[in-house]
Amino acid sequence: MNKKRNAALAVALMLAMAGTQVQAASAVEYTETKTADGYALIQNKDGAELGFMPDSGVKILTVDGKAFKDMNRNGKLDRYEDWRLTPQERAEDLARQLSTEDIAGLMLYSMHQRNLKPELNDEQRKMLRDDHVRTVLNADSTASNEVTAKWNNAMQAYAESLPFAIPANTSSDPRSDARGNGVYLKDVTGGVSRWPSNLGIAATFDPSIAKEFGEISSKEYRLLGIGTGLSPQIDLATDPRWTRYYGTFGEDPALSRDMAQAMMDGVQSTIVNGKDMGWGKYSVNAMMKHWPGDGVGEGGREAHSKYGKYAVYPGGQFNAQLIPFVEGGLRLAGKTKMPSAVMSSYSIAWSDDGSLGEKVGSAFSKFKIGLLRDKYHYDGVICTDWCVTHDIPKEVGKGISTAWGVEHDNEVVRHYKALMAGVDQFGGNNDKQPVLAAYAMGVKEHGKAFMDARFQQSAVRLLRNIFQIGLFENPYLDVARTVREVGNPQDKAKGYAAQLKSIVMLKNKDRVIHKAVAGTAKPTVYIPMIYRPAAENKTFHTYTPAKWSLPVDLKTAEEYFHVVTDTVGELTAVDRDGRPMAAVTDIKRLAPAEAAKADMVLAVIDNPTNAGNQFDGLGCDEQGNFIPLSLQYGKYTADSAAVRRQSIAHDEGENRSYFGRTARITNATDLDSVKYGRECAEKSGKKMPVITMVHALKPMIFSEIEPLSDAIVVGYGVSDAAYFDIVTGKAEPQGLLPMQQPKDMVTVEGQCEDVPRDMECYKDSEGHSYDFAYGLNWKGVIKDGRTAKYDVPVLKR
């Protein structure tokens, strides 16, 4: 009997080594099927769903009747392969098995992957195979949902064929902004549901909408193969000039805190039948950014550029900037407890006395990273923002670097300095060599045991994020399901409802905008065209010609109105490369007599936009002199007593002040559209209202357009249709301002970059102050539970 049993065990062992099932069929508690997409799918009874490619080299082990993937091909069940264990236990086991080169690859966060195809290209295979990259940034703006899903499956199949079968953890920047076609998935079939920007979600003053957005967007992400969101951006936007204001929840610490907490709970927790299951199949790793807050650039400048590399705190409110992070993100109400990743900011925190640490970018700052690790006990992944370790390019357009404070170090030293500060991952780096060289530096300084422990510490954090969302079990997508469910009508309807709730009505003289009467005929509207000058981005080698255009989608507008507008001639002057170069001069405005036939003027404008972009030219002129950033359309010269004659951040004696210099606004002619609309209204001989519709990314000076407007509606990343539903009275406005609208530019210059809600606000002809939490509905100024909760003195809650 013993001989028979021993023989059976020997056979079982041989079968196990061959990767086949080792238990009798009656004991097996799983089923296996082949999918239409080529991968095999195993469903364990009361256990994990497994997906694998039959030709990848990965076999199935059967233990206790359950199926497990033998990912390192050793014929036995390792702890990292056992889905019954915790992500932490599994990550620790795998980290111990990995080489230094393997871990260096985990520390890389790929540059933007564009132009996705159903199969990987050679560069992508090299990235996965030779540099061991496993965190991949999907930045494609053209791929359909179907192609995106097929690319994911091809990438995961290739990763599975490599040693240890570590899946790719794909990520994305936000994709759901409803204005136009959003950041990604432009002009494609399908796409995702469309929501307001973060600033628009903040304008609802309803954290439950932020949570709902998180739940729906995370489901869509997972169906697209995306496991990590490079979001939310929760910097306090305490300077109104800041370029990246639009991505935040505004300037109020309490509102930003609650929105950040709700959105990350929605993103990370999988909800089943209304119950929070914690990490699950619809969970996405949230990467809150940018620690410890990047909205305090001196003069409102942006830290992507060397001109905005200093964060300043003239009001002494460094700790106020931390509130959305430490009281929101690090205190999630759901079972996931805190975001699985944090992205550091670019900027150098300026202090004359050294109280804010060494004058280096956040990724290199032992003070700022140490604050997160030691004071707030954060043990998740800390990732740098993109390109902080790159060398400074010798000329614009020859690369990107944001190595502020460490410009004179080499690439290896930058990696080492960030590692020693407590960083785990390097954004925008596909090359393992500088990471390995940094490891060697550490071995020389601290010894091999120290550096091995330091690398394994990061490896565990990075692997845990892949384990906890289930990618080791099944990283593959059912392509048909992706096509069917991403951007489905129910989710789109919820996104559209949020858009409507986010639009803020600032002015409504004589109740021009009011509830629609059933059966009302389509009104006729005159919509003036707007002009955009030619724009060149030298960093990304893009060029947009000058043009006049209708500022709304005509097809959408014609669903609501009979539209009349201006006419424009063809642009024919070109440069030597064949690019249009001359401004269009033959615009023919609609004659006032024709405009008078309309029922209203709808002037559609963007908020004032400063010349340049956040990588090159924003906040400076062609000679590199600092110039002011303006929030008004008209000419602005910074010559008031409120302007600092000496900058706070005096880098090696450099005076970064812009006193006496003049701002440059690219869309100053937007104001002409409103002016001409008012002129037509006054010449019409009838009561023809002018309704101004603002596409806003940040605060602005309303003194230029408010006197010309009978009504003003403002949206933050919303669709034309949502505006039109408000303007035609089909939906009642409910949004509230998530920030102050300053009285004038002197007020802007007098405020402190780091202090929330410290400005005198613009007051309109109706006596309304455009302050935080202000908004109108059809009855008048909104006063409800939202304003009672949030419209109280800042930092007193």
Strand runs labelled E in 622-769: 690-695, 711-715
- Residue 188: the pLDDT is 43
Nearest to 792 by CA among 777, 767, 761, 771: 771
Number of domains comprising the chain: 2
Partnered with residue 34 across adjacent β-strands are 40
What is d(CA 213, CA 264) in angstroms, rounded to the nearest whole number?
10
Last-in-domain residue among 39, 69, 86: 86
Residues 234/325, Cβ–Cβ less than 8 Å: yes
Q: What gap in Å lies between CA 475 and CA 402, rounded to an integer?
A: 33
Residue in the structure block whose two tokens are 């990743």: 341
pLDDT given at position 183: 38
**562 within domain boundaries:** no
Q: What is the pLDDT of residue 25?
A: 44
- Length of the chain as a residue count: 797
Are residue 135 and residue 17 in the same domain, yes or no?
A: no
Let me know: does 432 contact 108? Beta carbons within 8 Å.
yes
Ramachandran bin of 539, using left for φ above 0, alpha for ψ from -120 to 50, beta for the remaining angles: alpha
pLDDT recorded at residue 399:
76
Q: To 5 degrees, how large is the angle CA 170–CA 173–CA 179?
A: 140
Asked if residue 501 is part of any domain, the answer here is no
Nearest partner of 344 among 265, 417, 260, 288, judged by Cα: 288
| Contact (CB, 8 A) for 318 and 349 | yes
Question: Residue 424 belongs to what domain range?
Answer: 88-485
Phi, psi at 298, each rounded to 5°: -60, 130
Residues 440 and 402 in one domain: yes
d(CA 64, CA 22): 10
pLDDT along the chain (797 residues), means of 10: 39 40 62 97 97 96 97 98 98 98 96 90 96 94 91 98 98 84 43 94 98 97 96 98 96 98 98 95 97 97 93 97 98 97 98 96 98 98 96 77 95 98 95 97 98 98 98 98 95 96 98 86 94 78 83 95 88 54 68 93 97 79 91 98 92 86 96 96 92 98 98 97 96 98 98 98 98 97 98 71
Determine contact, residues 533/543, Cβ cutoff 8 Å: no
Q: Give the separation between CA 133 and CA 153, rounded to whole angstroms.
A: 16
Same domain flag for 110 and 33: no
Same-domain status, 376 and 443: yes
Domain-embedded: residue 703: no
Q: Report pLDDT for 370.
A: 98
Structural domain contains residue 675? no
- C-beta separation of 176 from 186 below 8 A: no
Instruction: Choose one of 485, 501, 518: the last residue of a domain.
Output: 485
Calculate the alpha carbon distances from 32 to 16, 35, 223 in Å. Answer: 18, 10, 21
- Beta carbons of 729 and 669 less than 8 angstroms apart: no
Asked whether residue 503 is assigned to any structural domain, the reply reads no
CA-to-CA dists, residue 234 to 55, 203, 227, angstroms = 44, 14, 20
Same domain, yes or no: 103 and 178: yes
In a domain, 349, yes or no: yes
Query: Does residue 295 sit in the same domain as residue 378?
Result: yes
Helix, strand, coil fractions of the chain, as percent rounded to 5: 35, 15, 50
- Report the pLDDT value the prediction gives residue 182, as an integer from 0 to 100: 41
Shared domain for 144 and 259, answered yes or no, is yes
Query: What is the distance between the alpha carbons of residues 497 and 722, in angstroms, rounded to a whole number?
Result: 9
User: Is residue 585 included in any domain, yes or no?
Assistant: no
Token pair of 636, please?
A: 């602005």
Contact 392, 401 (CB under 8 A): yes
The C-alpha atoms of residue 478 and residue 470 are separated, in whole angstroms, by 15
List residues bridging with 417 in a β-sheet: none
Of 572, 656, 582, nearest to 301 by C-alpha is 656
- Regarding whether 10 and 116 lie in a shared domain, the answer is no
Structural contact between residues 627 and 592, judged by C-beta atoms closer than 8 angstroms: no
- 247 & 112 share domain: yes
- Per the listing, tokens 């949206």 go with 715
What whole-number distance in Å separates Cα of residue 173 and Cα of residue 343? 12
Domain membership of residue 468 (yes or no) is yes
Instruction: Enter the pTM of the model.
Output: 0.93
H-run or E-run covering 682: helix 670-683
Helices (H), 98-176: 100-106, 122-129, 145-160
DSSP 3-state of 80: helix
Q: Which of 35, 67, 86 is the last residue of a domain?
A: 86
CATH number for the domain that contains residue 407: 3.20.20.300
For 221, phi then psi, to 5°, come to -60, -50
Say whether both 51 and 134 belong to one domain.
Answer: no
Sheet with 226-229, side-by-side order of all strands: 381-383, 341-344, 285-291, 226-229, 169-172, 135-138, 108-113, 426-427
81 lies in the same domain as 114: no
Alpha helix locations (H) across 349-432? 366-370, 411-421
- Tell me the two tokens of residue 581: 């170069």
Q: Are residues 381 and 240 part of one domain? A: yes
Distance CA 558, CA 387 (A): 45
How far apart are alpha carbons 67 and 657 in whole angstroms? 66
Looking at residue 17, its pLDDT comes to 40
